[in-house]
Each structure stands twice: as structure tokens, then as C-alpha cells.
Amino acid sequence: MKKVITKNTFIIVMICLLIPVGQNLAQESVPLKTGVDKKALISELEEIIPQLMKKAEIPGLSIAVIIDGKIIWSRGFGIKNTKTGESVTDDTIFEAASLTKPFFAYAAMKLVEKGELDLDTPLIKYAPQSYLEKKYIRHPVDLTGFRKDWFEKITARMVLSHSSGLPHGGPRKPLPILFEPGQKYRYSADGYMYLQRIIEHLKGDSLREIMRKLVIEPLKMKNSSMVWQEKYETQSAVGHDIFSETTGRFRKRKRAHAAASLYTTAYDYARFVIAMLNDIGLKKETVKQMLTPQIDVEKDVFWGLGFGLEHTDSGDAFWQWGDYVIFRNYIVAYKKQKIGVVYLTNSNNGLSIGPEIVKRAIGGGKELALAYLDYALYDSPSMVFVRTIKNKGIEEAVKLFHELRKENPDDLSEGSINSVGYTLLNSRRIPEAIEIFKLNVETFPNSANVYDSLAEAYVRKGDSELAIKYYKKTLEMIPKDTKADKAFLERLKKGALENLKKLEKKEKQYQRGA
């Protein structure tokens, strides 16, 4: 199973490529670049961004810099698609991924201002039970195991601050509520979908149209949409994996999703950030409420209503990252100083240059948000491993892996190795994927998941005998695995049993036929 191993369970493991580079500003504090020579700043960015992209092997990037509450510069760099070589332009569309969440929160707060939605009224009171069962819960509210008592407590405030207890995705029957709502933080796309359904019911319209009327058109975001448009066939960038490879296909969302479906440009999204900085479209008090901590995440990191918040050496910032694996993006802004940066990429490696981009573009402290997210930096020693696979092959990479583990035992985690294996597997480089999964088994023999991943690779190869062997090993290791999340292990067990049953049935049929 493709396990997510992160500092927090909702963040997908990041692996990027490495070419040794010069000075890295990521861990240094520099003053916010208010009052700087804008022409000199732009000149520096135009020089450094292509260098960073090359070092991190990011095909395409779009950026917008905000100073004094205005966009002083925006530009596209690189290419949209490594197969076609088409250049990124100022109007190239990127998938915003989770940058959609604060964008949706802004619209929700418009309804709060109008008195159509109350932040602290339980959402269940806004729609009939039959509507919620059909459009969101997807099962009867009295289904055994469903915490209806907790569900009845969930409010818009809890959803927007990721304290609803709703999951980020995964199995839904019964819909899991992971803790009593309002008690702690846990990132949840599912919560945003719940609020979306409530708002669609209140407005009697689709989210696509609601966002167009309430946000996109008022903010004059001419190249933005909550769903795929035909013109994006030629206007959009396509995503790339850790090896800078792409299928060339687009993810064409036909239905809007409050958590993830925005298509946009850096310039357009910067217009939204400016609305937050300059109190445009919402009352000053409303914006202040959005940027007030609602729930603690960790030291100096909080969540407001839609945005992540952080206390830095340079002041209070609001931020959000976007991660659809092959599209990785980031925005951060300081309201008091009216400065910020938006950057979008079409690469799995996109957030590896995040700290450097932020420091070069607007300055700032240690950027706790990016440190909290814990994405590997483009010049991290561990990234040599991935680059070696690409340029020198698996055998050389495995040799190097053992050397790296001696010097940096924490740099190459189980999850990071697994991600490399699945990237290879999904690219149909099955023999290489098997070698990577075998390496994970060797390195982390007490993990149940590493055996499951290896079994899956053998299924893809068509080797039922070895697939059965490693699914059985998975089941053997699950009770002994003390590090993995219990809910994950339950899903792992269920999947392994189902796969094992199918394989054994297939083997029996084959033997009868033989």
C-alpha cells in the first residue's frame, strides 16, 4: 500500500532531485523586502529562479510578488510539458490543489457577513437529513458506528479551521469522525466538502457558479475557474513526477470541490491574496477574524478560518500550500507589511525550493510554515539517491543508498523510499520498482507496509507466487508493527486479505487448468 509518512498524517511525503549548489538561504533570516528597489529585486529573481528550477529539476513555474499591497511583478518560467517543450507564459493555468481551501473560505465568509451562514451554528441545522445523507454522509445517520452526536456539533468555524474531526479522505462507511469536533487540529478536505454541500443547499446553486459570482468575477480573476474549461487544453501546464516525467494528460475536473479544484495563474491568485491584504470584498473585521488563530497546530503555527497562520521573526504571516503531488504550490503573505508571494509549479519537486523562493522574493524569518510542512529541500543530501536512480541506474543508487544511510540515517525514510518505488511502478518501470521495495524491506524489516508494497509490485509483474508470499508476510507483521497508525494497519490488513484471496483463487484456477 502506498503509505503516507509525514510529520503529520495528511501530508504526502516529498522527494525531489539534487544537484549540489551554492549558498542556500533557506535557513537564514533576512528582513522583509519592504521599501526595496523593485527593479533590482525583479532582476535578481529573473536570474535566480531559472537556476533554482534547474537545480530542483522543476519544469515549469509561475510566480507573483506583492509589495505594498500591489503586484509588482509576475512571470512564468520554464516549460508546461517536457514532452512538447511549450513555454510557461503569464496566463498558463496550474492546478492550485489545496490553495483552493482559503479561496473557498473567503466565499464562505461573504455568506457569514450577509447573515446567510453562522460560524457557530451546527451545519446539520442548515439542511434536511435526507439531503445530507445523499449528498455528503452517503449512509443513514443512524448507521451503526457513526458518531451522530459528534456530527451534530460540527460548525463552519470548525471546518474552516480544520478542527471538525472529519477525515482527509479514505473509507467513508460509516463516515469516520476522528475526535470530538472543536478539540484539536487535523487537516481535512472532507470537512470542506461538507461545508460545500451546505452552501450549495443554502444558495440553490453549484459551487462552480457560487465561486464565480462571489469571488472570481468580483476580483477580476480572468484566468481562473473551479472546473476544467476546454481552453485549458492548450493553456494549462501538465504535472511532472520526481523524475521530471509526465504522462501529458490533464486532470479535468467537471465538478467543483471546495478543497482542491481551482485552476488558476499566479497573477490571478495574487489578486485574491491582495484582497486579503487590503480588505477587498470583505469587511476589515471579517478579514481579521479569518487571520486570527482558531486552533493550535504546533509551536507558533496555528490555523485561522481558511489559512494557516504563523508567528515569525518578521511578524505574523498567513499561508497555504497546495499538493496534488505533480503540482506543488505555496503562498505566504504578511498583512501588516502588505507583502507576499505566490508561486505555482507543475512538479513533484515544486516545494523543494519553497524556502529559497520566499526568502529571495520577500525575505522573512525561518518560515515556520514550510519548516512545519517538512518537505525535503532541493539541496538535501538525501536527494542524491533519487538523482542517482535517474542518471546512473538502480545498482549505483542502491550502493549510494547504504553510504547515505550511514551518514544521514534519518534522511531516507521508509515513506520516502516507498514514494520512489511507487513512482517507478506507476511509470511501468516494474523491475526497478521491485528493487526499491526490496531495499525498503531490507532497511525497515519491522514495517508491515514495506512487504505490502513489494507484494503489489510482484502483482504488477505477474508473479503470483511471490505476491502471495509477501502478502502473507504483511499479515504476519501487522500485529508486530508498533510504529504505524492503527487505522492504517487495519486498512492494510483488509487490503492484504482481499488481494491474497484473489491471488490464491487465481492460482487454484491456473493449477486446475494446467
Give me the tens of pLDDT residue by residue for the chain, a chain 514 residues long. 654 433 333 333 333 333 333 344 445 668 899 989 999 999 999 999 999 999 999 999 999 999 999 999 999 999 999 999 999 999 999 999 999 999 999 999 999 999 999 999 999 999 999 999 999 999 999 999 999 999 999 999 999 999 999 999 877 789 999 999 999 999 999 999 999 999 999 999 999 999 999 999 999 999 999 999 999 999 999 999 988 889 777 889 999 999 999 999 999 999 999 999 999 999 999 999 999 999 999 999 999 999 999 998 889 999 999 999 899 999 999 999 999 999 999 999 999 999 999 999 999 866 567 778 878 888 776 677 888 888 899 999 999 888 888 887 777 889 888 988 998 998 889 999 999 999 999 999 999 999 999 999 999 999 999 999 999 999 999 999 998 888 889 999 999 999 999 998 887 777 766 5
SS3 329: strand
What does the pLDDT read at residue 43? 97
Residue 44 and residue 51 in contact, taking contact as beta carbons nearer than 8 Å: no
Mutual angle of helices 448-461 and 486-513, in 10-degree steps: 30
Domains, the chain = 381-513 (1.25.40.10)
Instruction: Kindly give, in sequence order, each residue whose CB lies less than 8 Å from that of residue 229, ignoring residues fewer than 6 positions away.
Output: 263
Secondary structure string (H, E, C) spanning 147-184: CHHHHCCCEHHHHHCCCCCCCCCCCCCCCCCCCCCCCC
Instruction: Kindly give, in sequence order, each residue whose CB lies less than 8 Å from that of residue 39, ignoring residues fewer than 6 positions away.
Output: none
The shares of helix, strand and coil residues in the chain, as percent rounded to the nearest 5, are 45, 15, 40
Of the candidates 168, 172, 206, 174, the residue with the CA atom closest to the CA atom of residue 189: 168
Cis peptide leading into residue 174 (ω within 30°): yes
Instruction: Kindly give, in sequence order, each residue whose CB lies less than 8 Å from that of residue 302, ignoring residues fewer than 6 positions away.
Output: 293, 294, 295, 296, 308, 309, 310
Of the candidates 152, 186, 372, the residue with the CA atom closest to the CA atom of residue 295: 186
CB atoms closer than 10 angstroms to residue 149: 9
What would you measure as the largest C-alpha separation in the chain, in angstroms? Answer: 80
Of the candidates 265, 259, 285, 263, the residue with the CA atom closest to the CA atom of residue 62: 265
Distance CA 420, CA 15 (A): 8
Measured in whole angstroms, the distance separating CA 138 from the mean position of its chain's CA atoms is 25
Distance CA 24, CA 393 (A): 28
Residue 295 and residue 303 in contact, taking contact as beta carbons nearer than 8 Å: yes
Distance CA 119, CA 110 (A): 11
Q: Cell numbers 497546530 correspond to what residue?
A: 297
Of the candidates 395, 356, 450, 270, the residue with the CA atom closest to the CA atom of residue 27: 356
What does the pLDDT read at residue 442? 95
Q: What is the DSSP string of 185-226?
A: ----HHHHHHHHHHHHHHHTS-HHHHHIIIIITTTT-TT-BS
C-alpha cell at position 181: 469536533
Element (H, E) at 56: helix 38-56
Distance CA 126, CA 130 (A): 12
What does the pLDDT read at residue 413? 84
C-alpha cell at position 126: 442548515
Q: What is the DSSP letter of 480?
A: G
Distance CA 419, CA 413 (A): 10
C-alpha cell at position 188: 481535512
Q: Whole-prediction pTM value?
A: 0.86
